[in-house]
Amino acid sequence: MRILITAGPTREYIDDVRFLSNASSGQMGYALTSAAMRHGHEVVLVTGPVDIPPPAGCELHRVETTDDLRQECQKLFPQCDGVIATAAVCDYRPEKRITGKITKTGHPVTLSLVETSDVLAELGAEKGSRWVVGFALESQDPRKNAMRKLRMKNCDLIVLNDTSAISSTHNSVEVLSPQAEVIASFSGPKTEIADQLLTFIQTQVAT
């Protein structure tokens, strides 16, 4: 199979030097990329800015903003069999990017934010015969919110984890089906979880 994997954070610039982002390390997406290649698959990795080297042998596409991610995924997804979306996409961006650098004035600054594009929902709407596996990072009412995302984004499966996964080498995840059932759970190093998830995805949706 040819699998599209998204990983890492996106950045949304306030001015030319400051941006909104998150602490995603990209480890889960990179581990899944390595696992997929070990299983004999071809991987197209679309990654935001991270501090770890990409797995050797994947087709690499680097992005920065959510719109960058959206454009790359829309271009690449039609040539793939499915997508595993681990990227921690910024939900909001500044309404207007300031040219240059904002200087201190001694007064408060109000930042107006607007929602970014929902990249995974767009892929889910266009998937056709392809499969879509999403990730949900939740801290409140996690299963309910994960299921809302699964349905809104037209995912075949969604992988639920919590905020303790951010920048950690370990994780604990549940895999939820469209019927709101927990059909698998894995805990341990992200490298091990990646292998278990990849095997599970192959048996459930990538057949």
3-state class of 45 per DSSP? strand
* 22 among known catalytic residues: yes
Q: Exposed, middle or buried, 33 (CB in 10 Å: 0-12/13-18/19+)?
A: buried
Alpha-carbon distance of 95 to 79, in angstroms, equals 33
Mutual angle of helices 190-204 and 27-38, in 10-degree steps: 60
Residue 20's nearest CA partner among 70, 69, 91 is 91
> Tokens for 150?
């699964």
Q: Which residue out of 22, 145, 154, 171 is catalytically annotated?
A: 22
**Ramachandran region, residue 106 (left: φ > 0; alpha: ψ -120 to 50; beta: rest):** left
- Are 132 and 156 in contact by the 8 Å Cβ rule? The answer is yes
Distances (CA, A) of 137 to 12, 67, 87: 19, 21, 10
Known catalytic residues?
22
